[in-house]
Chains A and B, each alone.
Chain A
């Protein structure tokens, strides 16, 4: 694949991402209508026009930015068609497939109206809108898994393996964890075989994501006083720095404060500097916000990495995702009249 051409195209797309000053303009808009008017001057115009037929206000913005995200990811994927790079990039986009499958399974378990389930799906992964619609049409959880298996979708494997336990307990958590852990294990195993720079870059991001997920699980488990043995079942394997043994020793600290001490002298020591009030209140979302910012910054900083590698598409995907999140935060905060300081804190700054 011609990285020079593809990454030049992606860098051109990057130049159309909203910059800090534009976000400032959005923050200063007095209401949703003026926010929409401002967004209509950007690449979101097309999707805003389409969404405007059915929706208005905040829903119009949310539907439009969601559709734009999906369209953008498809464009990136189409640029990279063929070869190892496509399969690597698909690994990142597969997280939306996992999320969509989980949503469908949740909806089917409670016999939710199919249109309600469809509204919650973001077809940004390999499973496109048509495939997801077909899955939603299935009568129950088993039929969804069977259809995935028939199509040869790899995510049917953990679901089929754990379906028996699910049918005995009725606990969807069994299937969801199997799916989540399979996603990371499968991605890492696919990257293990490749020794290229691309594989190394992607693995680095995935391992950071696994670390962050595991740290969040540890902190949440400590806060909820979950038994160590139970919490261990939900750790994701695959990180060389934070293996099961290390995560267990952090869990043994028993307090958030103690757990944070274990994170000193690691890449995640920045969360130890979080204000004491959040530590005392055991406010996990405060730690989570910092960890997510770290991951986004790390991913977006790949823009300054090797220009002839997968670093640029990865950075672009994360930057686009962050932009969409920031627009949603600004729009939502506008309708509920959140103080500007709080709005700025909620934004993911890159």
Chain B
């Protein structure tokens, strides 16, 4: 056990620390509640987007396979050369209860007919439809990347806050209380000893006084 000075000053300090720790615990609990509420809000939109993405992915995959079957995979690959380009996204951040979460710039990747970079005369509507569905999927994936990252960060913040609350509630506060109790007991014990000693001294003094008078 840590060396504690069983003094009244120390007791006052320990009581102040207990009060501070309890205040901190309450604040962290409130933060955790708010984070959990935010977490569930985000989770709802993530699960919606997830199921939407699954559907969209199936539709896009089907469109691609049909285009490959009818138009020949080499025609598709050739069209993909024309449309291939990098994607630049602007990512900013915001704070949710002190948790930094990303905000990804909302860009529309669904392109119009003449924006894909190939001539529509040699590219069928089936390829266009497959491209369009994958572009829509990309839109959704980027939105989902934002919300899923927020969800992950909120989740780890909730875990961390819960650990802090637990540490305060189950380790720090009981330890401080135990120390304060120890100091109280020690002070009381010392008081009783002092009292006993004083009584003893008083008795001795009185006995000496009586002996002096008798002699």
Contact = CB atoms under 8 A, between A and B. Distances in A.
B141 interface: no
Given A102-B122, A106-B118, A122 B74 contact: yes
A161 interface: no
A284 interface: yes
Contacts of B85: 110
Interface stretch (B20-28, B95-103, B123-131, B146-154): B123-131
Interface of B: 65-66, 68-70, 72-75, 77-79, 81-82, 84-85, 112-114, 117-122, 124-126, 128-129
Contact of A346 (B70, B124, B125): B70
A62 interface: yes
Nearest to B72: A328
Contacts of A287: 125
Given A99-B122, A176-B82, A284-B128, 18 more contacts: A66-B74, A106-B117, A117-B81, A120-B75, A172-B82, A172-B117, A173-B117, A176-B119, A179-B119, A180-B119, A213-B121, A216-B125, A220-B125, A234-B120, A285-B124, A287-B125, A332-B65, A346-B66
A119 B119 contact: no
A268 interface: no
A172 B65 contact: no
A120 B74 contact: yes
15 contacts: A66-B72, A102-B78, A103-B81, A106-B117, A106-B118, A120-B74, A172-B82, A220-B128, A284-B129, A285-B126, A328-B70, A332-B65, A333-B69, A338-B65, A346-B66
Contacts of B69: 328-329, 332-333, 346
B39 to A, nearest CB: 38
Contacts of A346: 66, 69-70
A230 B120 CA distance: 13
Interface centre among A120, A221, A225, A333 (most CB of B within 10 A): A120
Contacts of B65: 332, 336, 338
B81 to A, nearest CB: 4
Contact of B126 (A98, A120, A288): A288
Nearest to B110: A224
A346 B70 CA distance: 7
Contacts of A288: 124-126
Interface string A8-22: 000000000000000
A220 B113 contact: yes
A110 B119 contact: no
Contact of B120 (A171, A216, A325): A216
Contacts of B79: 106
Contact of B81 (A62, A106, A171, A332): A106
Contacts of A220: 113, 120, 125, 128
Interface in A91-112: 98-99, 102-103, 106-107, 109-110, 112
Contacts of B75: 99, 120
Nearest to B77: A120
Contact of A119 (B74, B121, B124): B74
B197 to A, nearest CB: 95
- How big is chain A's contact interface, by range? 35 or more
A217 interface: yes
Contacts of B118: 102, 106, 172-173, 176
A338 B84 CA distance: 29
Interface string A259-298: 0000000000000000000000001110110000000000
Interface centre among A119, A179, A180, A284 (most CB of B within 10 A): A284
Nearest to A174: B119
A226 B125 contact: no
Contacts of B129: 283-285
Contacts of B84: 110
A216 B113 CA distance: 12
Contacts of A285: 66, 124-126, 129
B122 A176 contact: yes
A130 to B, nearest CB: 19
A216 B82 CA distance: 20
Contact of B112 (A224, A234, A325, A338): A224
B77 A110 contact: no
A236 interface: yes
A3 interface: no
A173 B115 CA distance: 9
Interface in A143-185: 171-173, 176-177, 179-180
